[in-house]
Amino acid sequence: MSEFRVTRHFWLAILMSHGVGPLRGNQMKSMKKVLVLGAMTAALAASFGASADDKPTIKIGYVEGWDDSVATSNVAARVIEKKLGYQVQLVPVAAGVMWQGVARGDLDATLSAWLPITHGDYYKNFKSKVVDLGPNFEDAKIGLIVPDYAPVSSLTDLEAKKADFDSRIVGIDAGAGVMQKTSEAIKAYNLDYKLLPSSGSAMTAELARSEASKKPIIVTGWKPHWMFAKYKLKFLEDPKKVFGESEHVDNIINPELEKKAPTVVSFLKKFQWKPGEIDSVMLATQNGAKPTAAADEWISAHGDRVDSWVK
């Protein structure tokens, strides 16, 4: 591996050969992770001559920093490993690269597809190359969120109150669907606000500081999320429906997974959270538990639910 040194031009050539347009920053890094993972997996399989009886490793893409994505992916991965006997590789990627990876087969699945609005454009682009197995979480939602003490209740209130919020909205990673919708909302409601990209963890850290000092703040957010269990928050009303209605988070796979691991596909068709179930996993991780440990604890405490998924 010491000889495996490549240039940016090499990666650009590889990406273009796979039909992927120019990427920047974290998107380039994420796509390189997926390509390296696929190449190394193929090389190792060829080197060791794996037998037909060996179960393949299942590659699941998730969005690092999205607490629901981390929790759902880790619980599913541990069930697949413990109950179905497959090894699972969890791959952190940006949302767009996640969809591209599943469509191309570099990733076998993602359990983090927000539909029909947040990831609607991704689904439109890749729906002929992926299979939607259905939702793992119903009644999901995205939008702009403020503490309940903030002097606004609707997006229509924001322009008149921009001084209270320093004319800023604290966002997450720039490629996220909620960020795209927030940009649309700023135009639709004619808001003189600046949308500040950051990350999920940076956003919640700034929310925590504002909560501690009771300072008004607007953040891009979504539900399910642990912050609703920790703070008193409210979604701002959206009369123009820029952020859409309630959504669902779906399990999306590459079609080849049905041949590669049919029992995994059968599980993913049944894997669905009931209201409140995911909250304890997210909170455990937020309070310092490793995602794998939080998943194992939940699985141990909910044996009947897990059995219903893998029957």
pLDDT tens digit sequence for 11-45: 444 444 444 544 445 555 555 555 555 555 544 44
The mean per-residue pLDDT over the stretch 188-201 comes to: 95
**What kind and span of H or E run contains 43?**
helix 25-48
Compute the mean pLDDT over every residue in the chain, rounded to the nearest whole number.
Answer: 87
Least confident of 154-163, 189-198, 240-249: 240-249
Q: Phi and psi dihedrals of 241, rounded to 5?
A: 55, 35
Q: Is 296 strand, coil or helix?
A: helix
Quote the percentage of the chain above a pLDDT of 70.
83
Q: Identify the DSSP state of 154.
A: B
When computed from its CA atoms, the radius of gyration of the chain, rounded to whole angstroms, is: 20
Q: What is the pLDDT of residue 176?
A: 84
Dist. CA 290–CA 49, nearest whole Å: 34
107 close to 60: Cβ distance less than 8 angstroms? yes
DSSP state of 137: E
pLDDT of residue 7: 43
What the block records as the tokens of 295 is 């998943």
The sign of the CA dihedral 122, 123, 125, 129 is: positive
Q: How far apart are CA 125 and CA 134, in angstroms?
A: 18
Q: How confident is the model at residue 53 (pLDDT cuts 50, 70, 90)?
A: low
The pLDDT, as a whole number, for residue 29 is 56
CB contact at 8 A, 224 and 140: yes
Element (H, E) at 183: helix 177-188
Identify the pLDDT of residue 200: 86
pLDDT reported for residue 37: 53
Q: Are 37 and 91 in contact (CB under 8 A)?
A: yes
Q: Judge whether 67 and 294 are in contact, CB under 8 Å.
A: no
Let me know: does 183 contact 195? Beta carbons within 8 Å.
Answer: yes
pLDDT, mean of residues 136-144 = 94
pLDDT at 97 (0 to 100) = 95
Q: Which domains does the chain have, with CATH numbers?
A: 8-139+249-310 (3.40.190.10), 141-235 (3.40.190.100)
- pLDDT higher than 80, residue 120: yes
Task: Please tell me which residue, 114 or 47, carries the higher pLDDT value.
Answer: 114
Pairing outcome for strands 58-62 and 109-115: parallel
- pLDDT over threshold 80, residue 104: yes
- Rounded distance between C-alpha atoms, residue 93 and residue 29, angstroms: 8
What is the pLDDT confidence band of residue 118, given thresholds at 50, 70 and 90?
Answer: confident
Q: Quick one: tokens of 39?
A: 């190449």
For 141, 148, 271, the CA distances from 154, given in Å and listed in that order, are 16, 12, 35
145 closest CA partner among 110, 185, 112, 116: 185
pLDDT tier at 54, thresholds 50, 70, 90 = confident
**Is-above-0.75 flag for pTM?**
no
Residue 30 has a pLDDT of 56
Mean pLDDT computed over 122-138: 97
**Is residue 189 predicted with pLDDT exceeding 70?**
yes
Work out the average pLDDT over 288-292: 96
- pLDDT tens per residue, range 220-278: 998 899 898 789 999 999 999 999 888 999 999 999 999 999 999 999 999 999 988 99
